[in-house]
Amino acid sequence: MKIKSLLARPFASYIYKSIQKGMLTAVSDQEAILKELLRVGSKTVFGEEHRLGEVKTYEEFKQAVPVRDYEQFAGYIGQIKEGKHNVLWQGKPIYLAKTSGTTSGVKYIPISKDSISNHINTARNALLCYMASTGNMSFSDGKMIFLSGSPELERIAGVPTGRLSGIVNHHVPRYLRTNQLPSYETNCIEDWETKLDKIVEETINQDMTLISGIPPWVQMYFDRLIQRTGKPVKDIFPNFSVLVHGGVNFEPYKAKLFESIGKKIDTIETFPASEGFFAFQDLPDGEGLLLNTNSGIFFEFIPVDEFGKDNPVRLSLKEVKTGENYALVVSTNAGLWGYSIGDTVRFVSTEPYRLVVTGRTKHFISAFGEHVIGEEVEYSLMKAAEEAGLHITEFTVAPMIQQGEGKSYHEWFVEFERKPSDLHEFAVKVDENLRNKNIYYNDLITGNILQPLQIRAVKKNGFIDYMKSVGKLGGQNKVPRLSNDRKLAGELEKYIE
């Protein structure tokens, strides 16, 4: 055992035990965080406008602070970008995380000196929990790759601004710098395909032990490695043992990634965003991600059927139930208040609080009242693909609205690794799965309001070509699973087989 893995063992044990203790105090920790947020926030522009200094309870907080999305918050962000102090949090942010988002255009999310530790320490804790629970310390002695955005930052009103992954790159601990790949210069390359070729060049002869990134872009990296060598990833990197992923549901990509690797390896799922690092997988085989309840973020949950109402039901952590679908709302020590991040979650446990991400608040299909969500379409397609022995590269779904009863349907754009021999039969299986998963969709089919879904096969690399055409290839960009309109579907029609 080398020095880094030797030193990691006691530290991993210490952090793991502290996280386990925190599981028992989650509710009281949340109450303490809200109190501290109100104390500091009361002295800001936002705090004075919302009279936060007078707020003493959660009920009063809900009355004082409405739920907002980015568009409704943009006025305060605009003041920060003009150079004003004490707008949402004390002083000025130390960074602005720039993200294109999946529910808005370009967004600028503040990161404060108080909140940066949430992003850095939670990523560290996810790895340490894995070490403590599995005993695998050896990966810390090898090379680690983090597929991320450029660490080069611009300045807006003196505030360094860039992609979150690029910002975090500046905070990689010194003891890990010698393990980290790709090089700083390569990470600064903006063109994704040029960058990917350079990453392959820098890593192909290294002892890679951990790889981290959004699954579709990790798959692109694996594809390039295999094209270059003709070998599975396990033969290129024999000590590769841990894959860290987040940003999208892993299941649609899992089978193809493991096939590319040539064996199953351990994975760690994370739930990071520019707004905060919300949860991570603390057990190797456990269901759900452990909510990060003591890291400067106060969480609220809106039942999905309440979301969008003028005065929706808002629940604190102690009020949530398992099995319910909630829109996630946060208030943070970076100055976000009652902020809807656009994700929906479902708790699988409340002792401790573990959840799964089920979709996006603005990514659903309800053109006919069916309210189909991401979790349902992913389940329906992956179940059919597994039974048929197929691998799915990428997919998205949109409504096709036609005049006349029983003529409209859901149109699925699917890129297969290998197209099924009978595409219609495969579509029938997917439709059956979705009908079993969503009672409203089933009612519309049986009532002849909708006809069964149809699948259109996208040509090889069609989604990559589409993302390239709109300037969103690589980085943290991902294809929306669901759209309630035809904008994306119309573009993808150019890439049909």
pLDDT tens figures, 334-359 = 999 999 998 899 999 999 999 999 88
Answer yes or no: do 64 and 141 share one domain: yes
Say if residue 81 is in the same domain as residue 147: yes
Record the tokens describing residue 136, joined without a space.
């695998």
Same domain? For 424 and 300 the reply is no
Percentage of residues in the chain with pLDDT exceeding 90? 61
Supply the range of the domain harboring residue 456: 364-495
Domain boundary, last residue among 321, 343, 361: 361
What CATH number is attached to the domain comprising 89? 3.40.50.12780
Model pLDDT, residue 360: 78
Least confident of 141-155, 253-267, 274-288, 416-430: 141-155
Regarding whether 399 and 340 lie in a shared domain, the answer is no
Domain shared by 155 and 91, yes or no: yes
Neighbours of 445 (CB within 10 A): 19
Give the Cα separation of 248 and 220 in Å (integer). 15
Asked whether 250 and 230 are in contact (CB, 8 A), the reply is: no
Please tell me whether residues 36 and 155 are part of one structural domain.
yes
Same domain, 192 and 268: yes
Q: Would you say 315 and 326 are in contact if contact means Cβ atoms under 8 Å apart? A: yes
pLDDT score for 308: 82
What pTM, to 2 d.p., does this model score?
0.82
Residues 342 and 370 in one domain: no
With CA atoms as reference, report the closest residue to 485 among 410, 374, 415, 395: 410
Region 268-275: mean pLDDT is 93
Cα-trace Rg, the chain: 23
Which domain-ending residue is among 361, 387, 405? 361
| Range 237-263 average pLDDT | 90
Q: Are both 251 and 121 inside the same structural domain?
A: yes
Q: How many domains does the chain have?
A: 2
Least confident of 12-21, 320-329, 397-406: 397-406
* Residue 42 pLDDT exceeds 80: yes
Phi and psi at residue 456, to the nearest 5°: -115, 120
Which residue has tokens 């960058």? Answer: 195
Final residue of a structural domain among 361, 379, 408: 361
- pLDDT computed for residue 103 by the predictor: 45
SS3 306: helix
Residue 2 has pLDDT above 80, yes or no: no
Same domain assignment for residues 317 and 373: no
Angle at 77 between CA 74 and CA 83, to 5 degrees: 145
- Asked if residue 438 and residue 319 are part of one domain, the reply reads no
Is there a single domain that holds both residue 326 and residue 380?
Answer: no
The pairing of strands 325-332 and 297-303 is antiparallel
Token couple for 328: 């996630």
CATH number of the domain residue 490 falls in: 3.30.300
